[in-house]
Amino acid sequence: MRSWPAPNVPKLPGQSVPLRLYDTSAKQVRRTDPGPTAKMYVCGITPYDATHLGHANTYLAFDLVGRVWRDGGHEVHYTQNATDVDDPLLERAEQTGIDWQALAEREIELFRTDMEALRILPPREYVGVTEVVGEVADLIAQLSAKGVTYELDGDVYFSVSDAPKFGQVSGYSQAEMLGLFAERGGDPDRPGKRDPLDWLLWRAERPGEPAWDSTLGRGRPGWHVECTQIALANLGPGFDVAGGGSDLIFPHHECGASEGHAATGEWPFARFYTHAGMVALDGEKMSKSKGNLVFVSKLRGAHDPMAIRLVLLAHHYRADWEYTPDHLAAAEARLARWRSAVALEAGPDAEDVLATVRERLADDLDAPGALAAIDAWADRALAAGGSDTSAPDLVRDLADALLGVAL
Ligand code: 5CA
Ligand code: ZN
């Protein structure tokens, strides 16, 4: 599918700082060590509703990863999927009487517009699952040939007893896994399964549901295997970062990692599993199924997208937080202050600001720390009222290149 247009990223002078990032699997912050091309896969939307602040928070976190790597001279190869066929999408289409494909297309287009407005760097490949059903079926056939799957009434399951690394991404207990599996799209109680945690790879055609011809017959892919296939096909095994929100740790990334392991024989499938925190509204995680949503497209109607970006940057990406409208008011005030400061004829020297922003972002994406450094510079600039010696261009460029905030 089409991705979205890339914003300009200014080149910055001086020395970058190598990125350290929290790896959910290792339960610690480790230094990323990408080759000349850094490779990242981030799980995309299920397009049955508009982009909300929670989604934006997740894509912004990985946007920062890409920006820090670019600053370090790496090329960034970024791939993202869109789950453009899945139960929640089909259910919403059914409820609203809209054709499921039209619904997906409409919401994906809105997502692109939101991402562009927020100046999120686009993936090189933006892949809808419906574009690659045949390839996903071929991967499942490969897994079957390795003896890690079984069939149940025409559907195909991955057998968790053939997944020796299962549990290593999340580190969750069996009880936690069972609870989350049922909550997040799994079917622990289906009769005939060998283990409640066996997960669906292929769903044979059901009356009234979309289906594709494939080596496995007519049907459609289960959820996790789509991301394994799209990551493998575009990035190859052993890529640097697999990302998404923390609700994807289990079962999604856990199952995907075991699929990748079975398919390639390599472990880990991704070097880092990195997860953004959950954004809540009115005391509950923002989610399409609960309907407690703040849409980016709606906020954009009344507010500068750069202020929306600053709302998100003001929270550490791993934090869970609750959105309230005063976050936006604070971000607008900060944006206005920064813009006044860079509009001055001359400002305080900004090389130390660049060094601090680099250091803060390289430390597991400490965006709030980076904002504080620019706040302090803006305070100094405004206090001096333009009587300093340096041009404020470096601050404009570093805010743009590293934080994606156009001033
Ligand atoms: N299509 C799948 C991934 S393959 C999916 O989870 N789609 S989604 O539309 O439900 O979510 C898209 C991304 O936003 C995921 O990375 C998810 O973890 C993240 N996300 C969803 N809700 C929130 C939230 N309230 N706060 C932060 N991130 C969220
Ligand atoms: Zn995914």
| Ligand nearest to C-alpha 44 | 1
How far is 369 from 269, CA to CA, in rounded Å? 32
Distance 81 CA to ligand 2 centre (A): 7
The pLDDT of residue 399 is 98
The pLDDT of residue 351 is 96
The region of weakest confidence among 70-74, 138-142, 387-391 is: 387-391
The pLDDT of residue 285 is 87
Mutate to test the pocket of ligand 1, among 1, 24, 42, 45 (most ligand atoms within 8 A of CB): 45
C-beta separation of 44 from 82 below 8 A: yes
Q: What is the pLDDT of residues 83-134, one digit of tens each?
A: 999 999 999 999 999 999 999 999 999 999 999 999 999 999 999 999 999 9
Which residues 6+ apart lie within 8 Å of 395 measured at CB?
A: 338, 341, 342, 347, 350, 353, 374, 377, 407
Q: Is the pLDDT of residue 264 over 80?
A: yes
Q: What is the mean pLDDT of residues 26-38?
A: 98
Residue nearest to atom 14 of ligand 1 (CA): 55
Q: Is the pLDDT of residue 288 over 80?
A: no
Give the chain's mean pLDDT. 97
C-beta separation of 82 from 104 below 8 A: yes
The pLDDT of residue 287 is 81
Q: Is the pLDDT of residue 376 over 80?
A: yes
Q: Is the pLDDT of residue 292 over 90?
A: no
Binned at pLDDT 50, 70 and 90, residue 284 comes out as: confident
Distance 45 CA to ligand 2 centre (A): 8
Half-sphere exposure of 55 (CA within 13 A, CB side): 27
Q: Is the pLDDT of residue 257 over 80?
A: yes
Q: Provide residues with CB under 6 Å of ligand 1.
A: 43-46, 54-55, 57-58, 81, 83, 227, 244-245, 247-248, 276, 278-279, 285-287
Binned at pLDDT 50, 70 and 90, residue 327 comes out as: very high
Does pTM surpass 0.95?
A: yes
Q: What is the pLDDT of residues 224-244, one digit of tens each?
A: 999 999 999 999 999 999 999
Q: Is the pLDDT of residue 19 over 90?
A: yes
Nearest atom in ligand 1 to the alpha carbon of residue 246 is: 18
Which residues 6+ apart lie within 8 Å of 11 measured at CB?
A: 401
Percentage of the chain lying above the pLDDT 90 cut: 95
The pLDDT of residue 389 is 86
The pLDDT of residue 289 is 77
Binned at pLDDT 50, 70 and 90, residue 55 comes out as: very high
